[in-house]
Structure 1
C-alpha cells in the first residue's frame, strides 16, 4: 500500500507542477510551486522505486496519469480544449496503464514460480 500512496503523491506533485507552469506564464510567482512540485514528484518517485516497484510500471502509471489529469484539469482550470478525440486518447492511456500493471503482475508471479521450482 505504501508504494501506491507514494506514487499517488508523485503524480499529484507532478500535475501541480505542470499546472503551475501554465499559471506562471501570467504570474511568475507560480514558478516557486513549479520547482516544489517537480522536486517533490521526483523525490517521491525515487522512494517508490526503493519500495521495490518495477521502473516500467512506476514510470508508465506516473506518466500516463499525469498526462490525463493535466489535460482534464487544464480544461477545468484554464479553459483549454478537451475534445472527444482527446477523451478517447485519455481512455487509451488508461487502458495502457492497466495493461502494464497486469503484465507486471504476471511477470512477478512467473518469477516466483521459477524460484519455487
Structure 2
C-alpha cells in the first residue's frame, strides 16, 4: 500500500510541474522555473522510490503516465482553457484501459 501512496504523490507533483511548465509560457515567466525543475526532480524521485518499494516498472510507469496525461488534460481545460474534445476523452479512456489491462495481467504472475 505504501508504494501506491508514494506513486500517487509522485503523480500529483508531476502534474503540478507540468501545469507549471504550461504556466511559465516557455519559461518567459521566470518565477516558474524553480517549481517546474524541483517538481520534476521530486516526481522522478517518487517514481524511483515506488520502484524501490517493489512495484513493477511496467505498472508504476504506466499508472504514472496515464494518470499524468488524464489529470493534466482535465485540469488544463479548466485552468488554461485548453481544448478537451470527446476524441481526447476517448483517448484518455483508452490509455487508462490499457494501463489497467497491464496491471491486471501483472497481478496474475
Question: What is the TM-score of this pair, normalised by structure 1?
Answer: 0.88
What stretches of structure 1 move > 4 A for 4+ residues in a row? none
Which structure carries more helix by proportion?
Answer: 1
Question: What is the TM-score of this pair, normalised by structure 2?
Answer: 0.94
3-state SS of the aligned residue for 1:81? coil
What is residue 94 of structure 1 aligned with on the other side?
A: 96
> How many residue pairs are counted as aligned between the two chains?
107
Structure 1, unaligned stretches of length 5 or more?
108-117
What is residue 14 of structure 2 aligned with on the other side?
A: 14
| Two-structure CA RMSD over aligned residues (Å) | 0.9
Cα offsets for 1:3-56 (capped at 9, x unmatched): 000000111111111000011115220111101110110111111011111011
Q: Give the greater-gyration-radius structure (CA).
A: 1
What is residue 111 of structure 1 aligned with on the other side?
A: none
Structure 2, unaligned stretches of length 5 or more?
none
